[in-house]
Structure 1
C-alpha cells in the first residue's frame, strides 16, 4: 500500500512555512493607509431623548429656528409641539413663518385678534396663490396661535420682488422696490454659496449670470426673513421667536440663523428633521427623526380650472382622467359658481370649499352654462369626489 506522505500533502503545513499573521507585504500596508476614511459618526443610542428633553435644553433661547420639509405633516406637528412646550413653560412666544409674505402682516394680526376667520385669512393673504401647500399642514399651528393670542409674524419678502430679481437681477428693481429689500446682504459666505450652487446645478445648466440671479433670490429670501425676525426680536425684547421655515433656510446655520444673529445678539438654536437626509452632526444643534404622519386625502372634483377668474365663478378648462364632475354632467366651458354651501369666485374658494372633504363624499355643485339660445342657465349636479 503506498505511503500517504508520497501521494498527498499533509493536512496541515509545517508551522515554519506559514508567514506570521501580523506581517503583511509593504505594498499592501501602503494601500490600506491610502484608503479613504468614511468619516463615520457614531450615535450613542442611550442618549437619544424625546421632545420634553429638547424643550428643557432650548427654553432659554430667544430665537428657535425649526426647519421643515413643507409637505411633511410630522414636521409641522413637531413645530407645534415646540411652540406649545415653550408656551406652557411660561415663555411669551411669537411665531415667524416663511409661508406668509410681509405685506400681509395686518391680516395675520386680525386673525389672531379674532377679527378675521380662517377662510378670510387664506383669501386675504393669497395663501393658495403664493404658497399652495396644503393649508391643513399648518392649520393646527395657526389655530393654537389664535386660541392663545400668540403673535404671527410674516417673514417672507413678497413674490413680486423675488420674481423680478430672478428675471433681471437686483438692478432690475425700482427705487421703491429696493426700499423693500434689506440694505445689508452678505454675499461672502463661501459655504452658503456652495450649497446654493449645488442646488442650481441640479437644474438644467445655464450661464453664470443666471446663477448669480438665482443666488440673489436665495439671498433676498434669507436676508429678508432674517431682517424681519431681527426687527421683531428687537421690538419684543421679552419674547421668544420660533421661526418656521424650510430646512434649507435653517440647516448649517447659513441661511436665516446666522443672518439674524449678525443683526441682533441673541441666544439661538437650530432644530431640523433628519428624515431622508444623511446624518451630519453639523446640520443643526438638534436633529429630529419623527415617524411619518399622513393627512387624510382631500376629495377632488376632477377638473382643471382657469387660473385667472374671468366673470362669475371659475371656468372648467379640462377634466382629469377620473372625474366625478364630468361623470355627473359638468362640461368643458361651464363655470363653477358654488360647491356645497360655498360660493366660488376664486381658486382659493375652491380649495377652501374642498379642504375637509373626503373621496367618495357627494357634494352639490352649481354651474353656469351658456345656453344655445343665448344667455346662461344655472344647473346643479351631485358630484362624487375622487
Structure 2
C-alpha cells in the first residue's frame, strides 16, 4: 500500500501515486457471470486506489475510516460497472465489520418500497421485482449493473430503501415547475425545500448549459427537478435514519447528487445531525480535494454484451404479446423470417406480455446465441397463426 502525506504532493504526483496503487494492488478485474449470486468469494474486487484528505491508500483503509459513520454516500456514474462493484465492496466490508446496514437507492422510486421489502424477504423473484417496480420504464440502465448489490442485500437480509420521488412528479415539475404539481403530487414532496444555496444553483446552471434542450427550456423548472430529486431523497434518507437509530445507511446515487455535499448530503444534515462521509469516483473528472471525503480511482470493468433480437417494438398497442414495428440493420429476427406486424409471445422459455418481459428474457443472453422466438401472425383469412423461429442474437 502506498501512503503519502497529501499536503506534500502536487495534483500530478497524487494522481500518479493513485494509479500506481491501483495497478499494484490487484490484477485486471473481469466481470462476473451475469447470473452469479455474489458472495464473499464470487465477486472479484476492482483494483482501486483511494484518496482522502491525508493520503493515498486502499479500500481496506477506507473501510476502517468509515466505521464510525451513520450515513455513507457513494456516488456513481450509472453506467460504470466498476463504480457499482466498489459500492458492493464497501457494503460487503461494512457488513463484515458487523454494521447493521440498510441501502438507500436512487434508482427505485418511493411508491415501490413494498416490492423491495418483498424481494429482500425472499417472497418474490428478481423478475417480479423488476416488473413491480417498473424498473425498465422508470430507470432503464442495465439492471445487471446493480444486480450484485441487490442479491447481496437479499442474501444477507439487508433492507433496500427506495429513495426517489415518483417520476410523474419530476416530469411535471420539468414541464411547469413545482407550482404546477397537482395536489395529490404536491402532498408527496418535502415541505422544506432549500433554494438558497448559491453554490448549488451555480452547479445546476453549469449542468443546464451543457444539457441538450429545446429552445423553450426553462432553467427554473430544471432547477425545480434537481431540488425535488435531492430534497426528496434526503427527506427519505433522514426519515429512515431517524426511525432506525441502530442502522448504518449506505446511500447509492449519481455522483451529481453527492459531490461537494451540495445534493443529498447537506440536505440530510439539515434534517438530522449524524456522522457522515462521501465517496465518489475521480475517474473522468479533474482532481479536486473538495469533491468528496474519499475519491476512488478504479480500473475499468465492462459487463459482457447482451444479445439483441434486432426488432423495433410497439409498446403502446394492446393485444397478446408485443408488436413488431420494424427491424434494425442486420436483424437476426428478420433474417430468421420474423415479419413486421408479427407479435412476439415468447422468447426462449419466457412468455412475453410487456417490454419488461423482453428485457428480462434477454438479460443473460449473449450475441451469437440462438433462441426460439414464437410470434403471432395475422393470416389473410382465418385469424392468426403461431410460428416459431430460431433467432441468432446480435
Structure 1 residues 304-340: Cα deviation after superposition (integer angstroms, max 9, x where no partner): 1013251100000110101100000000010000000
* Cα deviation, residue 41, structure 1: 3.4
Verify the 8 A CA contact 1:309 1:345 in the aligned structure 2: no
Q: Deviations over 1:285-316 (max 9, x none)?
A: 00000000000100000011013251100000
Residue 174 of structure 1, CA deviation: 1.8
| SS of residue in 2 equivalent to 1:330 | coil
Give the one of 217, 224, 227 matched to 2:225: 217
DSSP-derived class of the 1:166 partner: helix
Q: Does the alignment pair 1:235 with 2:205?
A: no
Aligned equivalents of 1:209 and 1:142: distance in 2?
A: 37
CA-CA distance at 1:206 after TM superposition: 6.6
Aligned Cα root-mean-square deviation (Å): 1.5
1:281 alignment partner, SS class: coil
2: distance between equivalents of 1:149 and 1:97?
Answer: 16
Task: Give 1:202 shift.
Answer: 1.2
CA distance, structure 2, for counterparts of residue 203 and residue 341 of structure 1: 41
Question: Secondary structure of the residue that 1:133 maps to in structure 2?
Answer: coil
Q: 5+ residue gaps in structure 2?
A: 1-9, 22-54
CA distance in 2 between counterparts of 1:323 and 1:205 reads 32
Residue 101 of structure 2, aligned match among 93, 104, 112: 93
Alpha-carbon separation, structure 2, partners of 1:87 and 1:105 = 22
Q: Report the 3-state secondary structure (helix = DSSP H, G, I; strand = E; otherwise coil) of the residue aligned with 1:70.
A: coil
- Residues 213-232 of structure 1 show CA distances to partners (whole Å, capped at 9, x for unaligned) of 00000000000000000000
* SS of residue in 2 equivalent to 1:263: coil
Rate the CA distance shift 1:279–1:204 in 2: closer, same or farther, 3 A. same
CA separation in 2, counterparts of 1:337 and 1:301? 14
Please state whether the residue corresponding to 1:187 is helix, strand or coil: coil
What's the counterpart of residue 23 of structure 1?
none
Partners of 1:275 and 1:72 lie apart in 2 by 10
Q: Which consecutive residues of structure 1, in runs of 5 or more, have no partner in the other structure? A: 1-39
Normalised by the size of structure 2, how large is the TM-score?
Answer: 0.86
2:259 equivalent to 1:251: yes
Equivalent residue, structure 2, for 1:11: none
1:41 is the counterpart of 2:11: yes
Instruction: Give CA-to-partner distance per residue, 1:111-141, whole Å, 9 cap, x none.
Output: 0000010000000000001001000000000
The counterpart of 2:131, out of the listed 115, 123, 142, is 123
Alignment partner of 2:326: what SS? strand
Matched residues, number: 348
Once the two structures are overlaid, the 10-residue window that deviates more, 371-380 or 329-338, is 371-380
> Higher Cα Rg: structure 1 or 2?
1
> Within the alignment, does 1:289 sit opposite 2:297 as a pair?
yes
Given candidates 55, 66, 83, the residue that maps to 2:63 is 55
Which residue of the partner structure matches residue 343 of structure 1? 351
Q: Is 1:132 aligned to residue 140 of structure 2?
A: yes
- CA distance in 2: counterparts of 1:309 and 1:100, whole angstroms: 27
